[in-house]
Amino acid sequence: MNEYAEIKGYRNTENGTELLVLIPERQFQTKIKRFAENKKVKAMIRIDDNRHITIEQLRKAHVLMAEIATYLGYYMEWFKSLMKSWYVEVYGDLKDGFSMANMSVDQARRFINLIIEFAFEMDIPLRYKDMPIIVEINDYLYICLRYKKCAICGEKAEVHHWDTVGANGGRKYDDSKLRKIALCDKHHRLYSDSMHNIGRDEFAKKYHVHGIIYIE
Ligand SMILES: [Zn+2]
Ligand SMILES: [Zn+2]
């Protein structure tokens, strides 16, 4: 079995390095006891070197794929291979022996973005609150604009201009230089804490979002 873990402490001893390993939010005592031979449980540790796909990215990709596969009633393994072949088709790298473990940080980022795009394309509800944590925020805001999904809640969105025309020097209206964000009608205008009710700065502070340059 593979589990995400955090090394919380370490020290050198005569026999090697002792580690204090935390597996967050999971209870494994019984399982680990069952695996033990002579009170020893063997494990491999892959330490995050921040160049290859990070453990965090690996976990995010899995969480997302599991969520989508469950929603669609697909087998996870099947869905994973679908996403992998889509990635190869779109980006053309990683053709031979596609393995997530061999991805670079950037490839992993593109792979995660593709998973989100798949969900948006298929109108699969995701836990939108978690999205900005899962995806690079600028990528996420871009995908929201592209698929016209509210960056806050994922509902059908309209485009709000983050920068007003006046901020662009009042010259002839050139939309392409203005930052934008995709918002549903509620987050755009209707809620008491909507963009137009509390204003851009308050809204940005509350939801941790911002406008980005997006050309249709
Ligand atoms: Zn607006
Ligand atoms: Zn919304």
Give, to the nearest 10 degrees, the angle between helix 76-91 and helix 105-121: 110
169: pLDDT strictly greater than 60: no
Q: What residues have a C-beta under 5 A from ligand 1, the ion? A: 160
Considering every ligand atom shown, identify the ligand nearest to the alpha carbon of residue 181 and give its number.
Answer: 1
Look at residue 59 and give its three-state secondary structure: helix
- Residue 200 CA to ligand 1 center (angstroms) comes to 10
- Residue 160 CA to ligand 1 center (angstroms) comes to 4
131: pLDDT strictly greater than 80: no
Considering every ligand atom shown, identify the ligand nearest to the alpha carbon of residue 187 and give its number.
Answer: 2
Task: Give the model's confidence band at 191: pLDDT under 50 very low, under 70 low, under 90 confident, else very high.
Answer: very high
71: pLDDT strictly greater than 80: yes
13: pLDDT strictly greater than 80: yes
Q: How far apart are CA 207 and CA 190, in angstroms?
A: 16
- Residue 110 CA to ligand 1 center (angstroms) comes to 29
| Mean pLDDT value of segment 44-65 | 80
- Residue 79 CA to ligand 2 center (angstroms) comes to 28
- Residue 192 CA to ligand 1 center (angstroms) comes to 14
Q: Given this model, what pLDDT does residue 184 score?
A: 96
Percent of the chain predicted with pLDDT > 90? 45
Q: How far apart are CA 197 and CA 97, in angstroms?
A: 52
Q: Given this model, what pLDDT does residue 166 score?
A: 62
Contact 140, 208 (CB under 8 A): no
25: β partners? none
Pairing relation of β-strands 212-213 and 6-13?
unpaired
| Mean pLDDT value of segment 144-168 | 87
* pTM of the predicted structure, to 2 decimals: 0.68
Contact 196, 190 (CB under 8 A): no
Task: Spell out the residues 6+ positions from residue 100 whose beta carbon is closer than 8 angstroms to its own.
Answer: 53, 58, 61, 108, 111
- Residue 170 CA to ligand 1 center (angstroms) comes to 18
Considering every ligand atom shown, identify the ligand nearest to the alpha carbon of residue 160 and give its number.
Answer: 1
- Residue 142 CA to ligand 1 center (angstroms) comes to 17
167: pLDDT strictly greater than 70: no
Q: How many CA atoms lie within 13 A of 165 on its CB side?
A: 6
37: pLDDT strictly greater than 80: yes
Considering every ligand atom shown, identify the ligand nearest to the alpha carbon of residue 158 and give its number.
Answer: 1
Select the more confidently predicted residue: 43 or 210: 210
Q: How far apart are CA 97 and CA 88, in angstroms?
A: 11
Q: How far apart are CA 211 and CA 178, in angstroms?
A: 8
Which has the closest alpha carbon to 87: 57, 44, 118?
A: 118
Considering every ligand atom shown, identify the ligand nearest to the alpha carbon of residue 211 and give its number.
Answer: 1
Q: Given this model, what pLDDT does residue 176 score?
A: 76
Q: What is the mean pLDDT of the chain?
A: 86
Considering every ligand atom shown, identify the ligand nearest to the alpha carbon of residue 178 and give its number.
Answer: 1
